[in-house]
Amino acid sequence: MAGQVVGPVLSRRELLRLTGSAAALTLLPRSVHALAEPQRVGGTRLFFSPSEIPRIRAGAASSILSPVVDGWAVGGVTATRKALARATETGILYTDFRAALKALREQGMVHLVDPDPQREAVLLEGIDQILAMPKWDYMVDGDETTGLLVASVTIDTVVFLREVLGDALGADREAQLLADIAEKGCAPCSRILDGMEDPSTVTGWRMDDHHSQLFDIDFTNWPVILATTNLRAVPAASLGIGALAIRGHDDRANAWLDQAVHNTRAILGLFNPDGSYHEGFGYATGTMLHIFGFLEAHQRGDGSIRWADEIDLEGMVKFYLSMQAGRKADGTPDIVNFGDAWNSGSYCVPAWLARQLEGTPAANAAQFAVERGSYNKSYLDVLWVDPDRAVGQPPSSYLNVRLDSDWISCRTGWAADDAVLAFRSGGPGNHEHADRNHIFYKVYGERLLTDPQKSAYDWRQPKWLLRLPEAHNSVLIDGVGHQYHNGREGTNPSQAEARITRYAPDERSGGDRVWWTSDATPAYAMVNDTIQRVRRTVLFQKPDVVVVFDEIDASSAVSLAARFHPENRDGSAGLSSADGTFRFVRPHAALTGHAFSRAELTVDLSQLDLPADGGIYPFAEVSLAKAQSHQLVTVLCAMPTDAADLKVAVTPDADGWTIAAGALRARIELASGAPEVTWA
């Protein structure tokens, strides 16, 4: 029979798997092959060009991306319809509509890889639902809609789907879509960026009546607060994508594009010169994802700016890798989760950096970040990841890093059980915690000194406590930590300042020994005007000995308490104490803390005052009674659970402390006033 397919009928995904490349498309019936190519879209494509589709499909069949695309495909059409119905039912844009948009983007990517009439139908249903909505965002200024978050991601979604669907969109639907991108997307995004640029133009930001119950927040200062956060990046990036999409269809497009470029440069200026970012790793990678989306679109749709010249690309790779912390129990990447960070970045972030760094050793380090330090979070992963790029081990200079943010990350390597010791000094930032002079320590695959994860964003919730000093591995003075805000304006920055005054890797040891001092006096003095000094010095003998030396001076007598928190989200931490020591035991590793002072000290075990149904958060607390001056040495020794404890000896004298623990032999000298460490 003419046109009959002879032999076993293979799906497109099966063919891709057999060949590992888009060459399999040539084996498909001609009618199906025609369906595979999105047809003409007016204007320049901003996400992909037809010539790239074979590469994208081959990548989607790779070991990195095939689990992602397959996961989206299974039941995806039904799940997307349910998400759309839920969004219609509740009308909640902040959660339910965003979930529907995410589902549409994922199904759009699956349709690009494996075209299917049912997926095409649900994508068109989604477009029609979006077009029928009177507005695309829940934030308003007076009575006008602004595009803080949802309008932004709606722009990204519909522009991407427009390119995926091509002629299937239809001329009438496309015309309405372009008009809505302008009126419901770009105009609101432009409006909110105007408010950040000039807060005097703001009537009064608020959530609309349908969303006002979500948060109890004072929005008065939000135009100022948001101007230096990731929430400027989101509308700026999407405004740019929308403006590029409607060029030639709306006279405002070029002005909006100029506004997007201006704001993008302002956001890139928020990154430190070394590529680190003040809001922490999670919001850094989220910011990168949005901004890189616009930069990619601008390179494709305009090309007038060489953005790679305006970014420390290699520094961003170094920052990305500095925040890695082996693996979680489920095998996904773990991170140094200072602030509200709790997960690693999406594949697409280091993948985009690798593409810009093509031909350099840093590109291979970026690919290491893709394959060893990332997970799927975005549809852009499938567009940007190159599974065939060479992977290079990060350079040895990444093993001991002091970032411009005055954060420190020191490690023995990049394997799951390697040691990572990280330290939070520096200034405030949005999405921060009250965590100056806080320590994170992971070794042998266990978080032995942890940073609490998934604290509340709402001050009314019990887990707001997880943001505060008492939930961190730092010190309390008279039972109180350093300055922090009350949360009534959201997760905005505090005024707490600390700074690294000395950072000294020991090059003679090949970087296996390093010490530093951080002064957090200004942060604590804001809440206790008797404070004259709060200083912490840390010594790290890799991989298993950490010495913490705390100095407190005040004009009147104050008490000191140093807290140490093990990981216990799985309920597997065992705590004990005896004779000036404490011990944490996790399934694969243990930590023993030996405390020393010239005055009498106590070691107590307790837990944070939180409802038990939200988890148990135990800690050890080393306390010193009231005095005007305190010196406390805590020697922390890590070991596999079945290994013997390390021997520790600490001797004080008039000018300092002599310490021996495991392989560490060191002297903390105080004769000059500031700590000076010498290694034996």
Q: Stretch 330-335: mean pLDDT, rounded?
A: 94
CB 151 within 8 A of CB 185: yes
* pLDDT band at residue 38 using 50, 70 and 90 as cut-offs: low
What pLDDT does 25 receive?
Answer: 36
* pLDDT band at residue 411 using 50, 70 and 90 as cut-offs: very high
What pLDDT does 40 receive?
Answer: 52
DSSP code of 565? -
The least confident of 29-33, 62-66, 128-132 is 29-33
What pLDDT does 58 receive?
Answer: 96
* pLDDT band at residue 5 using 50, 70 and 90 as cut-offs: very low
In 3-state terms, the chain is what percent helix, strand and coil (to 5)?
A: 40, 25, 35
What pLDDT does 44 receive?
Answer: 81
The yes-or-no verdict on residue 456 having pLDDT over 70 is yes
Percent of the chain with pLDDT over 70: 94
The yes-or-no verdict on residue 35 having pLDDT over 80 is no
* pLDDT band at residue 111 using 50, 70 and 90 as cut-offs: very high
What pLDDT does 54 receive?
Answer: 96
What pLDDT does 41 receive?
Answer: 58
Q: Stretch 46-68: mean pLDDT, rounded?
A: 96
Q: Stretch 269-288: mean pLDDT, rounded?
A: 93
Which is it for the CA torsion 359, 365, 369, 372, positive or negative? Answer: positive
Average pLDDT, the chain: 92
Q: Stretch 127-131: mean pLDDT, rounded?
A: 98
What pLDDT does 476 receive?
Answer: 98
* pLDDT band at residue 29 using 50, 70 and 90 as cut-offs: very low
Facing residues of 574 across strands?
585
CB 638 within 8 A of CB 441: yes
Closest residue by Cα to residue 10 from 114, 111, 123, 147: 114
Q: Stretch 159-164: mean pLDDT, rounded?
A: 98
Q: Report the alpha-carbon angle 628-630-634, nearest 5.
A: 165
Distance, in Å, from the CA atom of 371 to the CA atom of 383, rounded to the nearest integer, reads: 15
Q: Stretch 99-114: mean pLDDT, rounded?
A: 98
Q: What does DSSP say about strands 345-346 and 374-375: parallel, antiparallel, or unpaired?
A: parallel
Q: 150 or 488: whose pLDDT is higher? A: 150
Percent of the chain with pLDDT over 90: 88
Element (H, E) at 358: none
The least confident of 214-228, 402-416, 474-488 is 214-228
Distance, in Å, from the CA atom of 666 to the CA atom of 506, rounded to the nearest integer, reads: 12
* pLDDT band at residue 628 using 50, 70 and 90 as cut-offs: very high
What pLDDT does 213 receive?
Answer: 81
Residue 559's SS3 state is strand
For 245-394, strand residue ranges (E) read 324-327, 333-335, 345-346, 374-375
What pLDDT does 189 receive?
Answer: 98
Element (H, E) at 237: helix 230-246
CB 657 within 8 A of CB 616: no
**What pTM was estimated for this model as a whole?**
0.91
The least confident of 32-41, 44-53, 505-514 is 32-41
The yes-or-no verdict on residue 21 having pLDDT over 50 is no
What pLDDT does 216 receive?
Answer: 81
For 568-679, strand residue ranges (E) read 574-578, 581-585, 589-597, 601-607, 618-640, 648-653, 656-661, 664-669, 676-679
Facing residues of 548 across strands?
538, 634
Distance, in Å, from the CA atom of 628 to the CA atom of 625, rounded to the nearest integer, reads: 10
What pLDDT does 43 receive?
Answer: 66
Distance, in Å, from the CA atom of 365 to the CA atom of 341, rounded to the nearest integer, reads: 22
Architecture of the domain made up of 399-679: Distorted Sandwich (2.70)
Q: Stretch 177-187: mean pLDDT, rounded?
A: 98
Q: Stretch 153-158: mean pLDDT, rounded?
A: 98
The least confident of 23-37, 90-104, 249-263, 447-461 is 23-37
Distance, in Å, from the CA atom of 41 to the CA atom of 163, rounded to the nearest integer, reads: 6
The yes-or-no verdict on residue 266 having pLDDT over 50 is yes
The yes-or-no verdict on residue 67 having pLDDT over 80 is yes
Q: Stretch 165-185: mean pLDDT, rounded?
A: 97
Distance, in Å, from the CA atom of 191 to the CA atom of 205, rounded to the nearest integer, reads: 11
Farthest-apart Cα atoms in the chain, separation: 99
Q: Which two tokens stand for residue 505?
A: 């890797």
Facing residues of 619 across strands?
606
The yes-or-no verdict on residue 19 having pLDDT over 80 is no
Tens-place pLDDT, residues 637-671: 999 999 999 999 999 999 999 999 999 999 999 98
Q: Stretch 115-138: mean pLDDT, rounded?
A: 97
The yes-or-no verdict on residue 268 having pLDDT over 80 is yes
